[in-house]
Chains A and B, each alone.
Chain A
Amino acid sequence: MNIIVCLKQVPDTESQIKIAPDGKSIVTDDIKWVMNPYDEFGVEEALRIKEKFGGEVTVVGLGPKRVAESIRTALAMGADKGILISDTALDGSDSLAIATALAAAIKGLSYDLIFTGQRGVDDDNGIVGTALAEMLNIPNISVVEKVEISGDGKSVKAHRPVEGQTLVIEASLPALITAQKGLNEPRYASLPGIMKAKKKPLEEKTLAALGLDPGNFGEGARKLRIVKLTPPPQRKEGKIVAGDTPEQKAAELVKLLHEEAKIL
Chain B
Amino acid sequence: MSQGVMIIAEQRDGDIRKISYELISEGRRLADSSGQELTAVLLGSNIKDKAAKLGNYGADKVIVADDPRLGTYTTDAYVSVIAQIVKSNDPAILLLGASTQGKDLAARISARLGVGMAQDCIQFSIEHGRLNAVRPIYAGKAYASVTYSDNYPHMATARPNVMAINTPDESRTAQVIEASFILDDGDIKTKVVDAIKDKSGKVDLTEADKIVSGGRGMKGPEGYGILEELAELIGATVGASRSAVDAGWRPHSDQVGQTGKVVSPNLYIACGISGAIQHLAGMSTSKIIVAINKDPDAPIFQKADYGVVDDLFNVIPAMNKEIKKIL
Q: Give the B-binding residues of A (Cβ under 8 A).
A: 11, 13-17, 19, 26, 37-38, 94-96, 99, 121-127, 129-131, 133-135, 138-143, 145, 157, 159-172, 175, 180-182, 222-233, 235-236, 238-241, 246-247, 249-251, 253-258, 261, 263-264
User: B222 within 8 Å of A by Cβ?
Assistant: no
Cβ–Cβ contact A11 & B196, under 8 A = no
Nearest-neighbour CB distance to chain A for B121, whole angstroms, equals 11
Cβ-defined contact, B306 with A165, below 8 A: no
Bound Cα distance from A226 to B118, whole angstroms: 10
Question: Which residues of chain A have C-beta atoms less than 8 A from B276's C-beta?
Answer: 14
Q: How far is the CA of A163 from the CA of B10 in the complex (A)?
A: 12
Give B contacts to A, CB under 8 Å.
74-76, 79, 99-101, 103-104, 107-108, 110-112, 114-120, 132, 135-149, 151, 189-198, 201-204, 206-207, 210, 234, 251-253, 255, 258-260, 262, 266-267, 276-278, 284, 288-290, 301, 303-311, 314-316, 318-319, 321-323, 326
**How many angstroms between the C-alpha atoms of A249 and B322 in the bound complex?**
11
Give the CA-CA distance A238 to B301 in the complex, in Å.
8
Contact A250 B99, beta carbon cutoff 8 Å: no
Q: How far is the CA of A171 from the CA of B151 in the complex (A)?
A: 32
Query: What are 15 A-B interface contacts by the 8 Å CB criterion?
Result: A124-B120, A124-B135, A140-B190, A163-B203, A164-B197, A165-B196, A181-B259, A223-B116, A226-B144, A232-B140, A239-B306, A246-B314, A246-B318, A257-B290, A258-B326
Smallest CB separation, A33 vs chain B (Å): 14
Complex CA distance for A177 and B120, rounded to whole angstroms: 20
Q: List the B residue with the shortest CB-CB distance to A240.
A: B307
How many inter-chain residue pairs (CB < 8 Å) link A and B? 265
Min CB distance A135 to B, Å, is: 6
Q: Are B143 and A232 in contact (CB under 8 A)?
A: yes
Q: Considering only CB atoms, which chain B residue lies closest to A163 in the complex?
A: B204
B190 touches A171 (CB 8 A): yes
Interface of A, secondary structure class, is mixed
Distance of A24 from chain B, by nearest CB (Å): 9
Complex Cα distance, B288 from A238, in Å, reads: 10
Report the minimal beta-carbon distance from A98 to chain B, rounded to whole angstroms.
11
The answer on a CB contact under 8 Å between A238 and B304 is yes
A170 to B194, CA, bound (A): 9
Among B107, B189, B190, the most chain A Cβ lie within 10 Å of the Cβ of B107
Shortest CB distance B308–A (Å): 5
Contact B278 A145 (CB under 8 A): no
